[in-house]
Amino acid sequence: MPHIMIIQKSIPNEEWKEILTPLQYKILREGGTEKAFTGELLNNHEKGVYVCVACGNELFSSETKYDSKTGWPSFYSPISENSFIIKPNSGSINASEVICAKCGGHHGHVFTDGPEPTGLRFCMNSAALKFKKK
Ligand code: FE
């Protein structure tokens, strides 16, 4: 996907450092994870859309949000199959990495212990998301 590569290259990390908060930078640009049960959107039950805090890419609908009891906002499906790039089994944990398809930012991981109808659990960092109320 050449389009994505162009966007990623167009914003160097020095610039991201100015755009993002330190926590957002740690998650999105360094693959970090926020502390469980600390995210502002963890218990948000309002109807709307969750977008990438860095680039505004639409990622999740509130319709697919559920309480996974893990301490991180969880969804069983992205809003579109083009929302993310999924990197299979990356890093130390046994899950696939979930990357914003528009800005290349790390958002979290997807596990296969989610609820019906997909059986997937998109385990996300609240700090990397922005909620847009419907
Ligand atoms: Fe993004």
Domain ranges of the chain: 13-133
Choose among 58, 60, 49, 56: nearest CA to 19. Answer: 56
Ion ligand 1 residue ranges (Cβ < 5 Å): 52, 54-55, 57, 100, 102-103, 105
User: What is the distance in A from the centroid of ligand 1 to the CA of 75?
Assistant: 17
Q: What is the pLDDT of residue 104?
A: 94
Please check the confidence at residue 43 and state whether its pLDDT lies above 70: yes
User: What is the distance in A from the centroid of ligand 1 to the CA of 58?
Assistant: 9
User: Hey, what CATH topology would domain 13-133 get?
Assistant: 2.170.150
- How far from each other are the two terminal CA atoms of the chain, in whole angstroms? 31
Contacts of 74 (CB under 8 A, 6+ apart): 65, 66, 67, 68, 114, 121, 122, 123, 124
Mean pLDDT of the chain: 92
- Asked if 46 and 80 count as a contact pair (C-beta separation under 8 A), the reply is no
Q: What is the pLDDT of residue 9?
A: 56
User: What is the distance in A from the centroid of ligand 1 to the CA of 115?
Assistant: 25
